[in-house]
Structure 1
Amino acid sequence: MKSAKILSFLVLIITCLGCEIQNEVKTIRLGHGLDVSHSVHKAMVKMGEDLLERSGGKLKLEIYPSQQLGTERECLELLQIGSLDMTKVSVGVLENFAPKMKVLGLPFLFRDRQHSFNVLDGPIGEQLLNEGEQYWLKGLGYYDAGSRSFYTMNKPIEKPEDLVGEKIRVMESATAVNMVKALGGSPTPISWGELYTSLQQGVVDGAENNPPSFYLSRHYEVCKYYSLDEHTVLPDVLLIGTYVWNKLNAQEQEWLHASVKESVKYQRVLWAEAEEEALREVQKAGVEVIRPDKSLFAEKVKGIYEGYKDDTEIYPLIKQIQETK
């Protein structure tokens, strides 16, 4: 009788422990470098709310914005060792970890914004998201980061020759470095968090980025010329470390994928609104917005494409992207 009671008690304990494990909330930590007012951060907040609801409270997203956990490169490295679960980085930084991603950083690769969406949302985009898995990085989706253009302190950039002698901040991206060199400028890799001070101190003469980043970073306070040559369409990529991804069961992975997809749709709407607001506000602050002849810049970077003709991995991708409707 006593043995039966002990056995019943043990069964009860095991059952209760099973219930606790089943009801356990899994927290996914997401670190990124953007301000909380940025459309990407807002989309992440929505993703967290959606994920919590979709999973019935079993999956929770914890977001650390504004480089609290490090630069984009540092966050990628934290993902690789399992110290961070998710992050968002620019394709320009990701190419150092997933080499085929550099194709998206090529200047004047896309005909227009819709062409870029068709590529990223299709099989080519899906293929590229999986490129980092051998480096413990799994891509989940692309956030819109618009087109990147030059902004400078001392003179407007109306044609490529105006970049000669100008020190231009670029990301830690060989593709970005080669592009600025091809256009006649002097590329200078500097982390995003250090750029405002570097501009103030004259370490660089300018930089290149999209309108919302130019506005939200307050770089317009020191750079009064913004030249919309729109040389690259570099998306942001949302990633999860494979260490964490493989610990999620199939249902949890499905919940996360669905929440990411919804947040991408939401962010693209916010982004379009943010671009309009950014251009309006920087002009109010005294920034001269220049719309140069883009063909002059496109002509200057043709040599970059020639350099990939013998690359059996990148060149076929370039052709596939150009042929995508």
Structure 2
Amino acid sequence: MKKRTVTIVLTAASLSLLAACGRTQEEKSRGTSADAMSAAITNPDEVYHIDLKFSNVFQPTEWNYKASEKLAKEITEKTDGHVSVTYYGQNQLDCYGDSVTQAVNGENWIGLEEPSLFAEYVGDCAVLVGPMLYENTEEYNYIMDSEVVKEIREKLAKENIHVLDTHFSFGFRNLITNREITKPEDLNGVKMRATSSPLFVKTLEAMGAIAQPMSFTDCLAAISSGEVEGFEGSTSTLAGAGAPYELVKNVAETHHLIATRWLFMPEDVYQSIPEKYRKIVDECAEDCGKWEQTSCDADEANMISELKNKGVTWNDVDHDAFEAACAPVYDWIEEEYLADPELHRKLNEKLTAFRKR
């Protein structure tokens, strides 16, 4: 009997102790949760975190790839990981128009794409990078910093596309084949690789070529098989991955399009980031864009010299003839994208005034 009584007493004591311990742990848990909630309310920036995927098509040898890597690293480090950016180059994730769609749909996304791809949402974007418009990078930057482009960026924001920076440019695009092309007639019947941008396709066709849209990886195989005779692209692309310079040895200096990309993300995602981190994102975007632009411009002469040593030749062209051939492209932009019919004229007036300075 005594033994049973002792057992009962001990069990009761144990239960009492366990209950006390339970209350202590619950109180501690509540205290911890309360502290966390209090900290979050008092300093919400410290508990904020977002993971962003950053995608484009570029290869490790290209300036856009290098600038993209730099951007992802700097944003992640300078925000102490509160805005974490993971870069996926080489067409691993959505690129071109699909990348723009990711932004429109509000995904946690950053893209770097050719500005004419935004014309599906704001038609004037295609005019801003139309053929034979700019003579150098300074002219391009002048227009990008203008009120005209500011208004276009505001229109894009209403489509949920936030343009972070416009400086990710890497020279001008030329016609690259094994022919000496000096005038539009020299392109008649010549099959040329084009990007997926309708503007690029239309520009090549206006200059006389037969445009064949395909990825650049497929382009090299297509040149080898004779499916196409060349491509239009920048010096850095010719010198880059896959050694295109081994397949095509002549560059016609048309400078028909500026080689540029706009850095962008969803407007709603951008606005959801605390201001202190948004400011860092903005600064990193501009710094990396300008870093690419100045680095590529400074390296252009070296790349040309190296390519000439590998047997590539450059030839001058009749720019007036190519400009006249490309003029109808602006009529097509107005019709296709309902762009402002006065915008091309306004841009030319601004550039003429800028050149006189």
TM-score range, shorter chain: 0.7 to 0.9
Q: Determine which of 28, 33, 55 is the counterpart of 1:13.
A: 33
Q: Aligned pair in 2 of structure 1 residues 96, 282: CA closer, same or farther (>3 Å)?
A: farther
Going from structure 1 to structure 2, the CA distance change for 1:216 and 1:309 (only over 3 Å counts) comes to: closer
Specify whether residues 234 and 37 from structure 1 end up closer, same or farther in structure 2 by C-alpha distance, changes over 3 A only. Answer: closer
- Distance, in Å, in 2 between the alignment partners of 1:73 and 1:200 is 28
Of the structure 1 ranges 129-138 and 32-41, higher mean CA displacement relative to structure 2 is found in 129-138
In the alignment, structure 1 residue 315 sits paired with structure 2 residue 341: yes
Aligned to 2:319: 294
Unaligned runs of 5+ in 1: none
- 1:257 matched residue in structure 2: 282
Mean Cα deviation higher: 8-17 or 108-117:
8-17
Q: What corresponds to 1:171 in structure 2? A: 195
Segments of 5+ residues of structure 2 without an aligned counterpart are 1-19
Q: 1:238-296: per-residue Cα shift (whole Å, max 9, x none)?
A: 11123532431222222211111111221112111332232222222211211223222
Aligned residue number for residue 245 of structure 1: 270
Q: Is the 8 A contact 2:63 2:170 kept in 1?
A: no
Instruction: Name the TM-score, length of structure 2 as normaliser.
Output: 0.80
Indicate the residue corresponding to 2:170 in structure 1.
145
Letter in 2 for 1:314: D
Q: Distance in 2 between matches of 1:32 and 1:308?
A: 25
> Match of 1:34, SS?
coil
Match of 1:270 in 2: 295
Equivalent position amino acid for 1:261 in 2: E
Secondary structure at 2:239's aligned position in 1? helix
SS in 2 for 1:33: coil
> Letter of the aligned partner of 1:227 in structure 2?
A
Q: Does 1:283 align with 2:303?
A: no
**By how many angstroms is 1:163 displaced?**
0.3
Aligned-residue CA RMSD (Å): 2.8
Pair 1:191 & 2:215 matched: yes
Report what 1:235 is aligned to.
260
Deviations 1:109-154 (A, max 9, x none): 124321111001232333333443344322111111321110113x
CA-CA distance at 1:65 after TM superposition:
1.0
> Is the Cα contact below 8 Å between 1:308 and 1:314 reproduced in 2?
no
Cα distance, 1:4 vs. partner? 9.6
Task: Give the 3-state SS of the residue equivalent to 1:236 in structure 2.
Answer: strand
Matched with 1:221 is 246
SS in structure 1 at match of 2:346 = helix
| Cα 1:199/1:84, change in 2 over 3 Å | farther
Amino acid at match of 2:318: D
Contact 1:149 1:226 (C-alpha < 8 Å) held by counterparts = yes
Mapped partners of 2:102, 2:161: distance in 1: 10
Which AA in structure 2 matches 1:11?
G
> In structure 2, do the counterparts of structure 1 residues 304 and 82 end up closer, same or farther at CA, with 3 Å as the change threshold?
closer
- What residue in structure 2 maps to residue 119 of structure 1? 143
Cα distance between partner residues in 1 of 2:114 and 2:261: 4
In structure 2, relative to structure 1, the CA distance for the partners of 1:308 and 1:268 (3 Å cut) is closer
* Other structure's SS at 2:264 match: strand
Which stretch shows the higher mean deviation, 48-57 or 134-143? 48-57
**Measured at CA, do residues 222 and 94 of structure 1 come closer, stay the same or move farther in structure 2, by a change above 3 Å?**
farther
Residue range with higher mean Cα deviation, 119-128 or 99-108: 119-128
Which of the pair has more CA radius of gyration?
Answer: 2
- Quote the offset at 1:84 in angstroms: 5.0
TM-score in terms of structure 1 length: 0.87
Q: Which amino acid aligns with 2:68?
A: M
Shift of 1:42: 2.2
- Is 1:133 the counterpart of 2:153? The answer is no
How far residue 185 of structure 1 moved from its aligned partner, in angstroms, is 1.4
Quote the sequence identity (%): 16
State the secondary structure of the residue aligned to 1:156: coil
SS in 2 for 1:301: helix
